[in-house]
Structure 1
Amino acid sequence: MKKYILALLLLSTVVHAQQVAPLTVEKIMRDPKWMGVAPTNYKWSADSKTVFFTWNPESKEKDQTYSVSVVNGKPILADDKNMAQEIGNNYTYNNDRSLGLYEKGGDIYFYNFKTKVESRLTNTVERESGARFLFNNEIVYQRGDNVFQVNLANSELKQLTNFVRGKRPTSPERPMASVQDSWLKTDQAELFDIIKKRNKAGTRSGMFGGGGRGGFNTSFTPQKMIKTIYLEDRILTNIIVSPDGRFVTYRLTTPVTTNHNIIVPNYVTASGYTEDIPGRTKVGETLAKSESFIYDQQRDSIYVIHTAQIPGIKDLPDYVKDYPKQLEERAKKNEDRKVNLLGPIWNERGSNAIIIADAADNKDLWILKLNAATGEVSLLDRQRDEAWIGGPGVGGRSLGWIDQNRFYYQSEATGYSHVYVCNIATGEKKQITSGKWEVQSLQLSKDKKTFYLSGNKEHPGITHFYKMNIEGGDFVQLTSMKGGNEITMSPDEKWLAINYSYMDKPWELYIQPNKPGAKAVQVTKSTSTEFDSYKWRQPDMVTFKNRHGADVYARVYPATNPHPNKPAVVFVHGAGYLQNVHFWWSQYFREYMFNNMLADNGYTVIDIDYTASSGYGRDHRTGIYRDMGGKDLSDNVDGVKMLVEKYGVNPKHVGLYGGSYGGFITLMGMFKEPEVFAAGAALRSVTDWAHYNHGYTSNILNEPVNDPIAYKRSSPIYYADKLKGNLLMAHGMVDVNVNFQDIVRITQRFIELGKDNWELAVYPVEDHGFVEPSSWTDEYKRIFKLFETTLKK
Structure 2
Amino acid sequence: ASDGSELRTLTQGEWMIDGVIEVDEDSGWIYVNSTRGSALERRVERVSIHDGEIETLSEPGGLHGASLSRDGKWLAMMSSSLTAAPTITLVATDGSERRILYESDISLDSIEVTAPELRTFSAGDGTTLYGALYRPESEGPHPLLLAVYGGPHAQTVLDAWGLTVDLRAQYLAQEGYLVLKLDNRGMAGRGLAFEAHLHRQMGTIEVDDQSAAVQQLADEGLIDIERVGVYGWSYGGYMTVMSMLRRPDLFKVGVSGAPVSDWDGYDTGYTERYMGTPQNNAEGYREGSLLTHADKLEGQLLLIHGGVDENVHFRHTARLITALTAADRDYDLLMFPEERHMPRDQAGLEYQERRVARYFDRHLK
TM range (shorter): over 0.9
| Match for residue 771 of structure 1 among 326, 329, 344 | 344
- Within the candidate set 48, 53, 57, 1:469 is matched to 48
User: In 2 relative to 1, CA 520–568 (structure 1 residues): closer, same or farther, beyond 3 Å?
Assistant: farther
Alignment partner, residue 354 of structure 2: 781
Give the match for residue 238 of structure 2. 664
Aligned equivalents of 2:249, 2:97: Cα separation in 1: 52
Q: Which residue of 2 aligns with 1:435?
A: 13
Partner of 2:303: 729
Name the residue aligned to 2:159.
Answer: 583
Pick the aligned partner of 2:115 from 538, 552, 555: 538
* CA displacement at 1:557 relative to structure 2: 1.1
Residue in structure 2 matched with residue 344 of structure 1 by the alignment? none
1:457-485, Cα deviation, whole Å (9 max, x unpaired): 00112111122322334422111142111
1:560 aligns with 2:137: yes
Match of 1:459 in 2: 38
Question: CA deviation digits over 1:118-175, x for unaligned, max 9?
Answer: xxxxxxxxxxxxxxxxxxxxxxxxxxxxxxxxxxxxxxxxxxxxxxxxxxxxxxxxxx
* Aligned positions of 1:196-595 closer than 5 A: 353-354=2-3, 367=4, 380=5, 422-423=6-7, 430-442=8-20, 443-516=22-95, 520-526=98-104, 533-562=110-139, 566-573=142-149, 576-586=152-162, 592-595=166-169
1:600 counterpart residue number: 174
SS in structure 1 at match of 2:226? coil
Q: How does 1:640-719 map to 2 (within 5 A)?
A: 640-646=214-220, 648-719=222-293
The 2-side partners of 1:676 and 1:451 are apart by 48
- The one-letter amino acid paired with 1:662 is G
1:48-87 aligned at under 5 Å gives the runs none
Q: Secondary structure at the match of 1:731?
A: strand
Alignment equivalent of 1:619, drawn from 193, 200, 204: 193
Contact 2:82 2:164 in 1 (8 A): no
1:58-81 residue CA offsets vs partner (Å, 9 max, x unmatched): xxxxxxxxxxxxxxxxxxxxxxxx
Distance 1:520 1:674 in 2: 54
Paired residues, number: 364
Shift of 1:670: 0.7
Does structure 2 retain, via aligned residues, the 8 Å contact 1:690–1:711? yes
Segments of structure 2 that go 5 or more residues without pairing to the other structure are none
**1:553 is matched by which residue type in structure 2?**
Y
CA apart distance, 1:505: 4.0
1:387-408 Cα deviation digits (max 9, x unpaired): xxxxxxxxxxxxxxxxxxxxxx
Q: Output the amino acid matched with 2:101.
A: V
Instruction: Give the C-alpha shift of residue 532 in structure 1.
Output: 5.8
Kept in 1: contact 2:305–2:342 (CA 8 A) = no
1:507–1:585 Cα contact (<8 Å) kept: yes
8 Å contact kept, 2:152–2:187: yes
User: Could you tell me whether the CA contact under 8 Å between 1:545 and 1:552 is conserved in 2?
Assistant: yes
Q: Which amino acid aligns with 1:576?
A: P
C-alpha distance in structure 1 between counterparts of 2:13 and 2:221, whole Å: 33
- Per the alignment, in what secondary structure is the counterpart of residue 457 of structure 1? coil
- The AA in structure 2 aligned to 1:533 is S
Percent identity, please. Answer: 26
Partner AA of 2:146 in structure 1: V
Report the alpha carbon displacement of residue 765 of structure 1 after superposing the two structures with TM: 1.3
How far apart, in 2, do the equivalents of 1:609 and 1:479 lie?
25
The two structures, once aligned, show a CA RMSD in angstroms of 2.1
| Partner SS for 2:212 | helix
TM-score (norm 1): 0.44
- How far 1:528 sits from its partner (Å)? 6.2
CA deviation digits over 1:172-222, x for unaligned, max 9? Answer: xxxxxxxxxxxxxxxxxxxxxxxxxxxxxxxxxxxxxxxxxxxxxxxxxxx
Letter of the 2:354 counterpart? K
Residue 599 and residue 574 in structure 1: after superposition, are their counterparts in 2 closer, same or farther (change >3 A)?
same
Contact 1:612–1:632 (Cα < 8 Å) also in 2? yes
Counterpart residue type for residue 534 of structure 1: I
Partner SS for 2:223? coil
Indicate if the aligned counterparts of 2:145 and 2:230 stay in contact, CA closer than 8 A: yes
Q: Which runs of 5+ in 1 are unaligned?
A: 1-346, 348-352, 355-366, 368-379, 381-421, 424-429
Q: Distance in 2 between matches of 1:555 and 1:644?
A: 16
Equivalent position amino acid for 1:606 in 2: L
Partner of 1:107: none
Maintained 8 Å contact 1:612/1:621: yes
Distance 2:148 2:221 in 1: 19
Tell me how far apart the structure 1 counterparts of residues 267 and 24 of structure 2 sit (CA, whole Å): 38
Letter in 1 for 2:363: T
Q: Deviations over 1:211-253 (max 9, x none)?
A: xxxxxxxxxxxxxxxxxxxxxxxxxxxxxxxxxxxxxxxxxxx
Whether the aligned pair in 2 keeps the contact of 1:562 and 1:604 (CA below 8 Å) is no
The within-5 A match list for 1:175-190 is: none
Give the conservation status (yes or no) of the 8 Å contact 1:499–1:509. Answer: yes
Compared with structure 1, are the counterparts of its residues 687 and 478 closer, same or farther at alpha carbon in structure 2 (3 Å cutoff)? same
| 1:574/1:658 contact within 8 Å kept | no
- The Cα shift of 1:774 comes to 2.0
The match for 1:186 is none
Give 1:560 shift. 1.4
Q: Give the C-alpha shift of residue 506 in structure 1.
A: 4.0
The answer to whether the 8 Å contact 1:626/1:714 transfers is no
Aligned to 1:269: none
Deviations 1:357-412 (A, max 9, x none): xxxxxxxxxx4xxxxxxxxxxxx3xxxxxxxxxxxxxxxxxxxxxxxxxxxxxxxx
CA contact (8 A) 2:150 2:186 kept: no
Given that 1:610 and 1:632 are in contact with CA atoms closer than 8 Å, whether structure 2 keeps it comes out as yes
The alignment partner of 2:34 has SS state of strand
